[in-house]
Structure 1
Amino acid sequence: MAVENVTDANYETATSQGVTLTDFWAEWCGPCRMQSPVVEELAKHMDGVKFNKLDIDSNPETPSELGIMAIPTLIIKKDGQVVERLTGYTPAHQLEEILNKYTA
């Protein structure tokens, strides 16, 4: 499954059902450029998780509402409720283990 770009306007709807992971990032963020390929790769082979990206510069409202102070931040939701918040680079194996807790 491909990673979908979401915005302030559709974030809540895009993350309201099932298990979702949203990567909060910005173009100028070095660690975000390291995290992005990890998210893209997991999206290709992990069933049961919807992967999203939200550019914080173009969409400042949602990160503010969620209290995001540093990026990259990964927010994992299950049926619209935040179940995990990861700040900073998260390696693929660790991220996959965390996601598997919510898809099993």
Structure 2
Amino acid sequence: MATVELTTDNFNEVVAGDGTVLVDFWASWCGPCRQFAPVFDEASEKHPDITFGKVDTEAQTQLAQAFGISSIPTLMAVRDGVVLYAQPGALPAPALEELIGKVQEVDMDQVKAEVARQQEEQEGQTAP
């Protein structure tokens, strides 16, 4: 599957849905970004069940700021609308494959229960 260009118009629609989405925050002037691009594209061909999206941080500054992107490339892994991984740095192909495997193995019922528990705690702390 080819990568999807993510913009402020389609980001939430693509990332918030069910399934796994890998997002590459990049810029054309960034050397490590250009090195990582073929690794990311190759992984997208090997994993048609995963959505691979790219955010051009120069064209989509609002998205980059919203996610606090200060170093590129930054890779973000989202599953069922929950961010499971977000780290700067270009990964070599074996490390990207390992990350994909780990993201696919996560028990999302457990993650969602933990997120709900944390939200309840926060609401309890802010209640008057």
Q: TM-score, normalised by structure 2?
A: 0.77
Corresponding residue for residue 11 of structure 1: 11
Aligned-residue offset at 1:3 = 0.7
Partner Cα distance (2:92, 2:8) in 1: 27
Aligned-residue offset at 1:48 = 2.5
Corresponding residue for residue 52 of structure 2: 51
Higher CA-based Rg: 2
- Residues 46-65 of structure 1: CA distance to partner in whole angstroms, max 9, x if unpaired? 14311011101110111111
Corresponding residue for residue 26 of structure 1: 27
**Percent identity among equivalent residues?**
37
Higher helix share: 2
- Work out the number of aligned pairs and report it: 104
Gaps of 5+ in 2: 106-128
Gaps of 5+ in 1: none
Which protein, 1 or 2, shows the higher relative CO under an 8 Å CA cutoff with sep ≥ 6? 1
Let me know the Cα RMSD of the aligned residues.
1.0
Corresponding residue for residue 63 of structure 2: 62
Higher strand share: 1
Q: TM-score, normalised by structure 1?
A: 0.94
